[in-house]
Amino acid sequence: MPLSKSRLRLPPALPACLLRHPWWSLAALLLLAFAAWLLYLNWQITSRFEGRRWDLPARVYARPLELYAGLELTAAALEQELARLGYREVSGRPSRPGSYGRRGDALELVTREFRYWDELAPPAAVSLRFADGRLEAVDVAGQDTAIVRLDPLMVGSIFPAHGEDRLVVTPEQVPELLRQALVAVEDRRFSEHPGVDLRALGRAALANLRAGAVTQGGSTLTQQLVKNYFLDNRRTLGRKLTEALMALLLERHYDKAEILNAYVNEIYLGQDGQRAIHGFGLASQFWFSRPLAELELHQLALLVALVRGPGWYDPTAHPERARARRDLVLGLLAEAGHITEAERARAAGRPLDTWDRERAGASYYPGYLALVRAELGEQYRPEDLSRQGLNIFTSLDPRVQASAERRLAERLDALDERQPERRLAGAVVVTAPQSGDVLALVGDRRAGYEGFNRALAARRPVGSLIKPVVYLAALETGRYTLASRIEDAPIELELPNGTRWAPRNFSGEPAGPVTLLRALAESLNLATVGLGLDVGVERVAALLERIGPGPAPAALPSLLLGAVELTPFEVAFVYGTLANGGFRVPPRAVRSVVAANGVPLVRFPVELRQAVEPALVYQLNQALLVAMQRGTGRATTLPLATAGKTGTSDDFRDSWFAGFSGDRLAVVWIGYDDFAPTGLSGASAALPVWQDIMADVAERPYAPPLPRALEARRVDYYSGAPVGRGCASGLVLALPAGTELDRRGGCAERRGLAERTLEWLNDVLD
Amino acid sequence: MAERRTRLITLAALTLAASGCALAPQPGPQDPDADEIPVTAPQRQERRAGPATATLIEQSRALHESGQSAQAAVTLERALRIEPNDPAVWLELARLRYAAADWAQAEQFARRAESLAGGDPALRKQAVELIADSLVRQGRPTEAERLRSGG
């Protein structure tokens, strides 16, 4: 709060005595004003310092990586994860937390102490052995547990509007060498001066006079602290005077250790877009992805070098400058006798070693953080999030996120070549459907770009993605099975508003009589509309509400072909219920919240509700599986079984794909932000992205156990008639026990004798 | 692997052809169920009930017994994230909810366990029992009775 003397107005009626002695009176008044000002400064300092409260932004963490025997993980992938976490590679056996050593297929590491929601985990020495792309053995020293958590990556923070972000450290967490370096470099007579160092000021003034410009500052650490605390950067004489006075007052109230610790937490050390990096605790995380206590000498020296000008000495933008200043700091440390000459030389020989976000496979996660804020917004006020130092634990998986970001960007770059004057937009949501964990969320093709978050906010027509809901509603009536036959024939409707509606098939021609299985796998529009009208559009709308986030869409016939707008996140919700066999599990980012002092606050446990009979969803999913084998998703080459559906809206404005394996669900949307036609179908744009991501992240086939109410029958794909093994177009479907199959149509494609023989031999020899 | 099999088949076919054997299609001496795996399960679900999940379930039980039921739940959810299709983990979560008198969620978790039980009749039976118990606690004894007699 700037203060000026003009604020102290003279009372309107001046007493007569003042008029008689104008000079004395003026002096007395000035003195009074000065005293008042001093008192005000004193109050400001003590209240700020006593409270000793910084706004502590909430810290957001990714999921901790669980290490256990059998986990699909290569040594290289783990090393990448360790690089993200700033673990230091050592040549021998690692002994300190946050370090590791690797010899071929064996890797040893010491985890950091970490406060989880459920426990304070002490550092653990872990030995790992890898084989065939898996973790083969996990050994935790002194424990017989077969599983250990790696401390999670801090992925972001929720800082206040003024942009100050910091991570406060206690005096015990500050290395002694950092204090020594600050004194040696910034303020050699720190322990002696009363807050202002006149000798240093004089020296600096002389040097500046000689140079003809301001090249040196004579500010003490106390003055620098005051400046960071209360004042802006303008260099005026009045400001300097205020700063000096406040420094003197500060020193009168508090001892040197308290002042130095406040300095360590207050000082500005870097800029990251909107976010100002304050304090050595956060600077250490920001520049090295490590806790302050784990910094090596050359890294510590670089942080001290930054004090003088984080922008000027920015190690990324001006590496030579930063390095020269760092080496100067090292020299001063050696000169003061805090390190030996050999230590100095070794540290000066090291590179800058700053953490490269991109190289470490990390990102900025603005899309995911938006989801975190939205979820917490229901529980917390914005100022609680930006002030109370909450620790927020999420399900974000940096490996999955990296894959989703990269795969989307790669494919869009290639697709853009079709229409080079335009830029496609895209969004991806990846979940673990059983727990509802949102593992990755991409709202813009430019990773790390905070803009329009399409995954959460772009409501787009879903096209054929709606079809599984129509078929599920049909199965629910009990009047249909996947083997039932329906008519794929031209249809024309008069809508309530008087217009006529005549939907068409994607490929043009009506297919005639078809099974439900084929109609869904090949996404036949006419058959779907006929089926949906028979079942009732209201039923379909109500089912969509039941298995998704709601509310129910308007029950118009066009709903049957996907004239309903959903966000990719909402689609992930709906398809999650399918992946979970009818159990509705809302997708969520936040798992739990822990207070700044380590007290567990809230937890968001897994919740589920059976929304549809599991046996019905099992039957439906068979059609989505067949869609991947011979229907609209047949272009996939994934090595494991998946179920999924394409979606293409009118005039090719939206390209969708939603599908799942036994452990991962992904939804991909691609289109233009202005709703212009793209010329791309769900199969030609979204599906390849989906496949690329699933190839990276899916580990288990979609293969749920057969529900007891169903029995396996061999039926013809085209006619639904019961067929024998000699029928090439026959496949085994699980149908309600005792289903009466229509024998008309029989087998559409019989197998030749040779083929049958080979198959028989194959079975015999298998 | 596949290549070897193809070679084997060719060899066998040649041998059969050479011996002038009639190729009458007849059922092979094989697992009668092999034919009956529906399209949903082309790759048999191998349940990797690994030591990690077992350890976590054990830890969770110990935590629950010492009165730390929230910690027990967190530990089970760790297991769930490792083994999301293991009915034993879902059943354990259901028991925890039941113990916490959260009958509605106990029922749901037990139903989820039942839906994944597959070829494990013992586990299925336990899940059905728990669903029924949870229904009774929610004042729905008729449904519970129907379930028990049907299961």
Strand partners, A126: A109, A140
Cα-flanking dihedrals φ and ψ of residue A280, to 5°? Answer: -70, -25
Give A762's contacts in chain B (Cβ within 8 Å).
5, 9
Q: Which of A 55-74 lie inside 8 A of B, CB atoms?
A: 63, 66, 68-71
Domain at A87, CATH number: 3.30.2060.10
- Residue to mutate among A437, A700, A725, with most B CBs inside 10 A, is A700
Angle at alpha carbon of residue A641, lines to A637 and A644, rounded to 5°: 85
Q: Could you tell me if A246 and A278 lie in one domain?
A: yes
- Side chain identity, residue A248: L
Residue A426 pLDDT greater than 80, yes or no: yes
pLDDT at A730 over 80: yes
pLDDT at A423: 94
Is A464 one of the annotated active-site residues of the chain? yes
pLDDT at B18: 40
Catalytic residue among A81, A108, A164, A186: A186
Q: Are residues A242 and A110 in the same domain?
A: no
Mean pLDDT along residues A736-743: 93
Looking at per-residue pLDDT, the higher value among A307 and A146 belongs to A307
How far B131 CA sits from the closest chain A CA (Å)?
Answer: 13
Q: Do B111 and A610 touch (CB under 8 A)?
A: yes
Terminal C-alpha separation, chain A: 83
Strand (E) or helix (H) holding A150: strand A147-150
Is some CB atom of chain B closer than 8 A to the CB atom of A609?
yes
C-alpha B151/C-alpha B146 separation (Å) is 8
Query: In this structure, are A173 and A267 located in the same domain?
Result: yes
Chain B residue numbers with beta carbons less than 8 Å from the beta carbon of A710 are 38
Domain boundary among A124, A154, A184: A154
- The residues with which A255 forms a beta bridge, in sequence order, are none
Question: Residue B9 pLDDT more than 50?
Answer: no
Q: CB distance A641–B43 less than 8 Å?
A: yes
Contacts of B29 in chain A (CB under 8 A): 764
Minimal Cβ distance to B42: which of A66, A610, A641: A641
CB contact under 8 A, B56 and A610: no
Lowest mean pLDDT among A20-34, A450-464, A639-653, B89-103: A20-34
- Mean predicted lDDT score pLDDT of chain B: 77
Mark out the alpha helices in A635-752 (DSSP H runs).
687-697
Region A456-479: what's the mean pLDDT? 97
Find which of A13-22, A284-293, B13-22, B31-40 is predicted with most confidence, using mean pLDDT.
Answer: A284-293
Would you say residue A534 has pLDDT above 90? Answer: yes
* Out of A434, A702, A712, closest to residue B36 by CB: A712
Kindly report the average pLDDT of chain A as a whole number: 90
CATH superfamily of B51-150: Tetratricopeptide repeat domain (1.25.40.10)
In this predicted model, what pLDDT tens digit does every residue of A90-145 receive, in sequence order? 998 999 999 999 999 999 999 999 999 999 999 999 999 999 999 999 999 888 77
- A171 and A270 co-located in one domain: yes
B49 touches chain A (CB under 8 A): no
- Interchain CB distance below 8 Å, A734 and B38: yes
Which one of A68, A435, A712 has the shortest CB-CB distance to B52? Answer: A68
Please identify among residues 448-507 of chain A the ones whose CB lies closer than 8 Å to any CB of chain B: none
Please state whether A46 falls in left (phi above 0), alpha (psi between -120 and 50) or beta: alpha
Q: Could you read off the pLDDT of B37-56 as tens digits, one per residue?
A: 566 553 444 444 578 899 99
- Give the model's confidence band at A4: pLDDT under 50 very low, under 70 low, under 90 confident, else very high: very low
The answer to whether residue A625 is domain-embedded is: no
Positive/negative CA dihedral, A372, A377, A383, A389: negative
Task: Identify the domain boundary among A154, A170, A196.
Answer: A154
Tokens encoding A314: 């920015």
Question: Chain B window 86-145: which residues touch A at a Cβ cutoff of 8 Å?
Answer: 93, 105, 108-109, 111-112, 115-119
Q: Structurally, how many domains does chain A consist of?
A: 4
Answer whether residue A638 is part of any domain.
no
Task: Give residue A353's Cα distance to chain centre.
Answer: 25
Q: What is the pLDDT of residue A233?
A: 60
Residues A110 and A198 in one domain: no
- Averaged over A419-426, what is the pLDDT? 93
How close A704 gets to chain B, by Cα (Å)? 7
pLDDT digits (tens, 9 = 90+) for A581-638: 999 999 999 999 999 999 999 999 999 999 999 999 999 999 999 999 988 988 888 9
> How sure is the predictor about B136, in pLDDT bands with cuts at 50, 70 and 90?
very high
pLDDT value at residue B43: 41
Q: Is the pLDDT of residue A209 over 90?
A: no
Domain ranges for chain B: 51-150
CB contact under 8 A, A762 and B111: no
Question: Which residue of A434, A704, A761 is in closest CB contact with B40?
Answer: A704
- The pLDDT value given to residue B12: 44
**pLDDT (average), residues A206-229:** 75
The residue ranking higher by pLDDT, A18 or A171, is A171
- In this prediction, residue A12 carries a pLDDT of 56
DSSP string, A67-101: EETT-B--HHHHHHHHHHTTPEE-SS---STTEEE
Residue A253: band (very low, low, confident or very high) from pLDDT cuts 50, 70, 90: confident
Give the pLDDT score at B31.
37
Q: Which residues pair with A670 in a beta bridge?
A: A426, A655
pLDDT of residue A158: 87
More reliable by pLDDT, A361 or A329 = A329
Cα distance between residue B13 and residue B20, in whole Å: 11
Residue at A355 is within a domain:
no
Q: Is A70 in Cβ contact with B48 (below 8 Å)? A: yes
Which of 17-46 (B) contact A at CB < 8 A? 23, 25-26, 28-30, 34-45
What is the pLDDT at residue A235?
63
Is B9's CB within 8 Å of A621's CB?
Answer: no
| Facing B38 at nearest CB: one of A583, A733, A756 | A733
Residue B21 is predicted with a pLDDT of 37
pLDDT confidence of residue A13: 57
Q: Which residue has the tokens 């209360």?
A: A230
SS3 (DSSP) at A60: strand
- Count of CB atoms situated within 10 Å of the CB of A618: 23
Pairing of strands A164-166, A275-278: parallel
**Within a 13 Å sphere around the CA of A79, how many CA atoms are in the beta-carbon half?**
14
Within a 13 Å sphere around the CA of A87, how many CA atoms are in the beta-carbon half? 29
Nearest alpha carbon to residue A283 among A274, A273, A347, A295: A295
Name chain A contacts of B54, Cβ cutoff 8 Å: 146
Contacts of B30 in chain A (CB under 8 A): 763-764, 766
Which pLDDT belongs to residue A44?
Answer: 80
What DSSP character marks residue A41?
H
A468: distance to nearest CA of chain B, Å?
16
Task: Tell me how many residue pairs between chain A and chain B have CB atoms under 8 A apart.
Answer: 165
How far lies A17's CA from each of A10, A21, A27, A31, in Å? 15, 7, 14, 17
Q: Verify whether the Cβ–Cβ distance A732 to B39 is below 8 Å.
A: yes
Specify if A251 maps to a domain: yes
Report residue B27's pLDDT band, with 50, 70 and 90 as the boundaries. Answer: very low
Using a CB-CB distance cutoff of 8 angstroms, which residues of chain A are in contact with residue B41? 703-706
Q: Are residues A320 and A269 in the same domain?
A: yes
Query: Could you give the ipTM of this predicted complex?
Result: 0.85
Are A219 and A305 part of one and the same domain? yes
CA closest to B36 among chain A residues: A712
Q: Report the Cα A619 to chain-centroid distance in Å.
A: 35
User: Is the same domain home to A284 and A225?
Assistant: yes
A42 and A75 fall within a common domain: no
| Nearest chain A residue to B114, by CA | A707
| Chain A stretch 132-191, residues whose beta carbon is closer than 8 A to a beta carbon of chain B | 145-147
Contacts of A581 (CB under 8 A, 6+ apart): A614, A617, A618, A621, A704, B115
Distance CA A682, CA B52 (A): 39
Residues A85 and A201 occupy one common structural domain: no
Per-residue pLDDT averaged across A332-350, rounded?
A: 95
Q: Are residues A193 and A321 in the same domain?
A: yes
Check pLDDT > 50 for residue A184: yes
pLDDT, tens digit, 9 for 90 and up, residues B68-90: 999 999 999 999 999 999 999 99
Give the residue on B whose Cα is nearest the Cα of A579. Answer: B85
Please tell me the distance in Å from A2's CA to the nearest CA on chain B: 50
- For residue A84, give its domain range: 60-154
Using an 8 Å CB-CB cutoff, list chain B residues near A766: 5, 30
Q: Which of A99, A284, A464, A484 is catalytic?
A: A464
The minimum CA-CA distance between B81 and chain A, rounded to whole Å, is: 7
**CA-based nearest distance A425→chain B, Å:** 32
Instruction: Fill in the amino acid letter for A497.
Output: N
- Whose CA is closest to A269, among A240, A302, A229? A302
Write out pLDDT tens, residues A279-293.
Answer: 999 999 999 999 999
Strands of A391-394's sheet in order across = A154-158, A58-61, A391-394, A590-594, A600-603
CA distance B93 to chain A (A): 10
Cα of B109 to nearest chain A Cα, Å = 7
Over residues A634-662, mean pLDDT: 94
Share of chain A above pLDDT 70, in %: 94
CATH of the domain at A246: 1.10.3810.10
Residue A276 and residue A144 share a domain: no
Quote the minimal CA–CA distance from A239 to chain B in Å.
54
Euclidean distance between CA atoms A219 and A239, whole angstroms: 13
DSSP A428-445: EEEEETTTTEEEEEE-SS
Collect all residues with Cβ–Cβ distance below 8 Å to A470 and sequence separation of at least 6: A528, A531, A532, A535, A540, A560
CA distances to A382, A616, A651, A677 from A422, in Å: 37, 43, 17, 11
pLDDT confidence bin for A387, thresholds 50/70/90: confident
Mutate to test the interface with A, among B3, B21, B39, B69 (most CBs of A within 10 A): B39
Residue-level pLDDT at B72: 96
Query: According to the model, what pLDDT value does residue A765 have?
Result: 62
Domain boundary among the residues A313, A348, A383 is at A348
Residue of B nearest to A642 (CA): B40
Q: Which residue is associated with the tokens 């212009």?
A: A676
